[in-house]
Amino acid sequence: MNPDILNTILPCLGGLLFCLGWVWLNKTEDDEVLASHINELQDKKVDTDLMGYKARGYLNADQDNIPNTTVTKILLNAETYDPGDDFDADGADSDYTAPVTGYYLIIGQIQWNATVANKLYRAYIYVNGAGKSMNIVQSAAVEKLTVPISDILHVALGETIDLRGYHNAGAATPDVLGHATGQSTYLIIHLLSI
């Protein structure tokens, strides 16, 4: 074989072997980095059951004679859905207990009946016994009045969420309307993220 050809090919082969070795080493390092990232993601894996952290409670019969100028818990005594069994609709609690710490979308509505004209009617979202969000509507006439409320709140594991109402009608005559299908007064809670 011609020595000139060998002198030309050998450096090229050496360079090629160097390149192949570099690629092989980097591939091994990349595989290790990739495996590390996969393990990290698995450690931080979100439980697929998070989709079950939600509930909708409602008032299925009227809550009569709400006291004047008193923030009053709405006794939501029925459920549309509650896959995690986190909403207590059986007793005076009428609240949702957060099964995990996270950000919750909370939507509520209070429908008032026997309102007094030109008075204020409120809906509150309470977390662990403290008011976190409020909406105020002024009545224009003596009839039904709906006060909606919504917020996204950070709620810790074990804290409770409930719906409360208030009015300044001058007497305990306004009632909160309930309905057998839950369309009047309700509280919806869905976990958005942890």
Rg of the chain on CA atoms, in Å: 31
Cα 133 to Cα 54, 139, 160, distances in angstroms:
19, 20, 14
Q: Are residues 34 and 84 in the same domain?
A: no
Q: Are residues 78 and 115 in the same domain?
A: yes
d(CA 172, CA 54): 33
Predicted pLDDT of residue 81: 96
Predicted pLDDT of residue 7: 54
- Residue 104's closest CA among 55, 155, 56? 155
Q: Are residues 33 and 6 in the same domain?
A: yes
Backbone dihedral region for residue 72 (phi beyond 0: left; psi -120 to 50: alpha; all else: beta): beta
Q: Are residues 89 and 8 in the same domain?
A: no
Predicted pLDDT of residue 44: 45
Q: Are residues 104 and 164 in the same domain?
A: yes
What residue type is 63 in one-letter code?
Answer: Q
Q: Are residues 59 and 2 in the same domain?
A: no
Biggest CA pair distance of the chain? 113
Predicted pLDDT of residue 25: 47
Q: Is the dihedral of CA 142, 184, 66, 167 positive or negative?
A: negative
Residues of the domain holding 159? 48-193
pLDDT values of the chain reduced to their tens digit, one per residue, 194 residues? 555 554 555 454 455 444 445 444 455 566 777 666 565 545 544 455 557 899 999 999 999 999 999 999 999 999 999 999 999 998 778 999 999 999 999 999 999 999 999 999 999 999 999 999 999 999 988 789 999 999 999 999 999 999 999 999 999 889 999 999 889 999 999 999 99
The count of structural domains within the chain is 2
Q: Are residues 24 and 53 in the same domain?
A: no
Please name the residues in contact with 166: beta carbons below 8 A apart, sequence gap of 6 or more: 69, 70, 71, 72, 120, 121, 122, 124
| CATH number assigned to the domain comprising residue 182 | 2.60.120.40
Residue 10 three-state SS: helix
pTM of the model: 0.74
d(CA 78, CA 23): 64
Predicted pLDDT of residue 141: 81
